[in-house]
Amino acid sequence: MNTQAPVLQLKDIRKNFDAVVAIENFSLDIYPGEIVALVGDNGAGKSTLIKIVSGVYGPSSGTITIEGETVAMSSATMARSHGIEVVYQDLALADQQAVYMNMFLGRELTNGIGLLDRKTMISETEKLVKELDVRIPSAHATIRDLSGGQRQGVAIARATRWAKKLILLDEPTAALGVAETAKVEEIVQSLKSRNIGVLIISHSLDQVFKLSDRICVLRRGKQIGIRKTSETNKNEIVSMITGVN
């Protein structure tokens, strides 16, 4: 499976916020169609790492390589132009806009004379939420009127709509019920067949073991290790997360 070149290579990534070192010495390769789980306690630096990959923060040092090309990602636009989509922990949705406008946020479709093509955006949105079984009242619904799970569904649907190479998911099921969680897990697994790489952050080890091919552990900004999911167990991962054995 790993005969292909990695979609994403991170090398010696370091990020500090003034005196706080959020991430250091972080290296990881993600291959097409592979699901890598990123685990660690609160404040370990997981979200920071995702934001570095997505271009929200520039790394203080280290290199990011996408499909063999070293990129200097200084903006989220750049990440997206490389086919990378993110579902942020603090959802990046515009609350007072309709679902379909959020689905196309920053990438609105226009017709021949430059006016918004609402019709196509709405029908594409309806098709997509149906495919992914995201239960929202309609594509016209305002985000503010949706439940937490429905919002999460919209954010994930948006990411899968646009991702070409890699999806970064920051605790995608933290706010979800049992059925919705299963649904999201199903969607994540379906990305494999589209050969899209996935980096998923989760505090649920059950979920991590169910979904991932490899597990990467962070503790206080340090990369403790990477394990093949098939060659490790929960006890080992827990002791890596906590530093206690």
Dihedral angle computed from the Cα positions of residues 49, 54, 56 and 57, in that order, rounded to the nearest 10 degrees: 40
Contacts of 114 (CB under 8 A, 6+ apart): none
Binding string, residues 24-63; x marks residues near Mg ion by CB under 5 A: -----------------------x----------------
Count of residues engaged in binding ligand ATP, rule: CB under 6 A: 12
243: number of Cβ within 10 Å: 11
Work out whether 59 is an interface residue with ligand ATP (CB under 6 A): no
Minimum Å distance from CB 47 to Mg ion? Answer: 3
2, 5, 12, 20: residue in contact with ligand ATP (rule CB under 6 A): 20
Nearer to other proteins, 135 or 192 (CB): 135
Interacting residues toward other proteins by CB under 8 A: 54, 56, 75-77, 80, 86, 88, 91-97, 101, 105-108, 110, 114-116, 135, 137-138, 140-142, 145
Partner that binds at residue 97, options other proteins, ligand ATP, Mg ion, none, CB closer than 5 to 8 Å by kind: other proteins
Work out whether 22 is an interface residue with ligand ATP (CB under 6 A): yes
Work out whether 216 is an interface residue with ligand ATP (CB under 6 A): no
Minimum Å distance from CB 40 to ligand ATP? Answer: 6
Residue 177 to residues 171, 172, 183, Cα–Cα distance (Å): 13, 12, 10
Full 3-state SS string of 90-115: CCCCCCCCEHHHHHCCCCCCECCCCC
d(CA 212, CA 201): 10
Partner that binds at residue 137, options ligand ATP, other proteins, Mg ion, none, CB closer than 5 to 8 Å by kind: other proteins
Work out whether 43 is an interface residue with ligand ATP (CB under 6 A): yes
Residue type, 177: G
Segment contacting ligand ATP (CB under 6 A): 4-12, 17-25, 73-81, 136-144? 17-25
Work out whether 202 is an interface residue with ligand ATP (CB under 6 A): no
